């Protein structure tokens, strides 16, 4: 089932995403110069984006709720492909 299909039931999708822990920046090689998200599926891309926000301390600096961060990243991931 694709990310956009699941976005219809957004609350359930967010719960689905949050059941699997956000990977460390080292496990997804986020800090490497050659990092690419092409190898990540939609769910892992959302988790990688959340990890980036955590590493940059955006959630604290801008008072972003953790759940809202997941929802926003999922929304962007879902609809970015339709724009192109």
| Per-residue pLDDT reduced to its tens digit, 52-78 | 999 999 999 999 998 888 888 888 877
- Please report, rounded to a whole number, the percentage of residues in the chain having pLDDT higher than 70: 73
13 vs 67, higher pLDDT: 67
Residue 1 has pLDDT above 60, yes or no: no
Residue 36 has pLDDT above 60, yes or no: yes
SS3 state of residue 34: coil
* CB-based contact 48:73 (threshold 8 Å): no
SS3 state of residue 57: coil
What predicted TM-score, i.e. pTM, was given to this entire model?
A: 0.73
Place of tokens 């092409």: 38
């Amino acid at each position: 089932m694709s990310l956009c299909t699941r976005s219809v039931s957004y609350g359930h999708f967010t719960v689905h995403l949050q059941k699997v822990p956000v990977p460390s920046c080292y496990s997804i090689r986020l800090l490497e110069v050659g990092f690419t998200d092409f190898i990540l599926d939609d769910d892992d891309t959302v988790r990688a984006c959340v990890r980036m926000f955590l590493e940059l301390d955006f959630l604290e600096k801008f008072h972003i709720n953790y759940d809202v961060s997941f929802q926003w990243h999922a929304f962007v991931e879902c609809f970015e492909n339709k724009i192109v």
